Structure 1
């Protein structure tokens, strides 16, 4: 047990004890020597100003009049919790394409300092935590910060948006609802005041963003989930139906453990294949994901989605004629 963890455990023991605690009990519960137990008691009393009273013969406790008012100062986490927090911070920094690096740098320094205190100065090899970004789009840091601020401060947002599908640029005024990180890229779910509807915007297509003066209009969580999370894909909308995909036995070993949608239904077939059912609205993203599996996957229903897959495969094959 490392020192900060022992101090935390020592504080918990003394706070909950109804009678003075012997040094022998502290040695057993803290898994430390007699000398270490005395050093930790001295550190708790002299440096952290804890109301420790008693001696080695009668035992130690917190002063009854002070114990309820004393709390350990600062951030107290175990080494495992700090390692997890630092790994998560690395994931955010690297998967964000660098856009979060400057904002998270002070947090990283604080966590690393706490880890140093835990480990007695031993360097934590964070290069052992590897994050490999996949198909990340370049973000404008100013636009991202402005969008994030609007979401958290609940302010309206004005920006230029160039749609990827049409390359048309429009000016939008929206009430931001959610900032979503999906497949290594960021999206803004917002109420579009000109279109009087919910829309999702790729943050990498947002430019010239500025905060508005008016407060954002809040859309109920139930409505957001109904329109933005009820169907497959990031640009989902209200479900139009359910798709049924069957994967062969080889692919089934992977697909059975994958999360495609919160309402998905899956089962193994008697021959070892895997059947997956899920709601969808716009089949474009679902088709791309199914075709990713090539001959290992087959769309069974609905017929219109099956025909769309057939047409896409025919067009792809024509490129190699």
Structure 2
């Protein structure tokens, strides 16, 4: 339990208590050490000005004459909520000087106010929190605005698409469904009218986008989730199979805490290695993620995916044989 959560829990316990609460019970309820209980009680009493009375022998409670009136000051956020606010602030600061600066200024001020309230009057050194973009792709801002507008206004969209795999240009006419931010990049999930099927498009490969007059065809959320979220990665579809990857004991410490897929299955093997199973449709993105771990990862099944990984590694090795 994190400190903010403990302070909340401690406040609830003391507020509800009719008799002094022993340190032993506080240790059990807060899942912390005896020393931590005393530190939290001191913080609650000395910094937050809570009416804490009592001692280590008899126990602690709120003074009955003041306890009913005491409330925790300011806004209290969990670590996840605080992280989200700080990340949002950093992202807003990165937009400074662009067309969004004036429009986002009130939001920036609101976030700063929330952070001030959380700090209880102290200044949070937010400049010590950094959000660093990783492997972002350059977007055509005009195309991005057209895509986003078509998604929100529910209008059909036409554009030129340059496929990364073949480098071929095609003209597409689609009904936009969702705009998805995934791994620092933007993707358009849409119904492709020529192919009569759902497709995902990398927005950085879209150009000459034009919003049409016709209303976009809506695809049910269940169908979108089944086609686009049921398999591994952004380039998904109906799962064609499951991949089994075994990671070394060294890499297991990281992989066991990673979220690869909503339906993933993982377990530690007796020798300390970690076995991960994920459903996948197209293996390209999965292979790239597995290759990221180098010799610490091995694709066990299916055989076809294992052979593809082997071929990729052999081609990579050939680059160093000259």
Per the TM superposition, whether the score is higher than 0.5 is yes
**What does residue 89 of structure 1 align with?**
88
**What does residue 257 of structure 2 align with?**
257
Equivalences for residues 1-321 of structure 1 within 5 A? 25=66, 28-30=69-71, 78=75, 80=77, 86-90=85-89, 92-93=91-92, 102=101, 104-112=104-112, 125-321=125-321
Q: Aligned partners of 1:155, 1:99: CA distance in 2, in Å?
A: 26
Residues 119-155 of structure 1, C-alpha deviations (whole Å, 9 max, x = no match)? 7997654322211111000112222222222212222
Q: Secondary structure at the match of 2:167?
A: coil
Quote the offset at 1:28 in angstroms. 4.1
Q: Aligned partners of 1:306, 1:254: CA distance in 2, in Å?
A: 22
Q: Secondary structure at the match of 1:199?
A: strand
Identify if the C-alpha distance between structure 1 residues 299 and 308 changes in structure 2 by more than 3 Å, giving closer, same or farther.
same
Q: Aligned partners of 1:112, 1:143: CA distance in 2, in Å?
A: 32
Identify if the C-alpha distance between structure 1 residues 113 and 302 changes in structure 2 by more than 3 Å, giving closer, same or farther.
closer
Query: Which of the two has higher C-alpha Rg?
Result: 1
Residues 49-96 of structure 1, C-alpha deviations (whole Å, 9 max, x = no match)? xxxxxxxxxxxxxxxxxxxxxxxxxxxx82648955642423544799
Give the unaligned 5+ runs of structure 2. Answer: 1-64
State TM-score, norm by structure 1.
0.70
Give the unaligned 5+ runs of structure 1. Answer: 1-23, 33-76
Q: Secondary structure at the match of 2:166?
A: coil
Count of residues in Structure 1 that have an aligned counterpart in Structure 2: 254
Identify if the C-alpha distance between structure 1 residues 242 and 27 changes in structure 2 by more than 3 Å, giving closer, same or farther.
closer
Query: Would you say the 8 A contact 2:174–2:193 is kept in 1?
Result: yes
Quote the offset at 1:231 in angstroms. 1.3
Residues 152-207 of structure 1, C-alpha deviations (whole Å, 9 max, x = no match)? 22221222222222222222221111111111101010001121111111111112
Identify if the C-alpha distance between structure 1 residues 84 and 267 changes in structure 2 by more than 3 Å, giving closer, same or farther.
closer
Q: Aligned partners of 1:240, 1:134: CA distance in 2, in Å?
A: 30
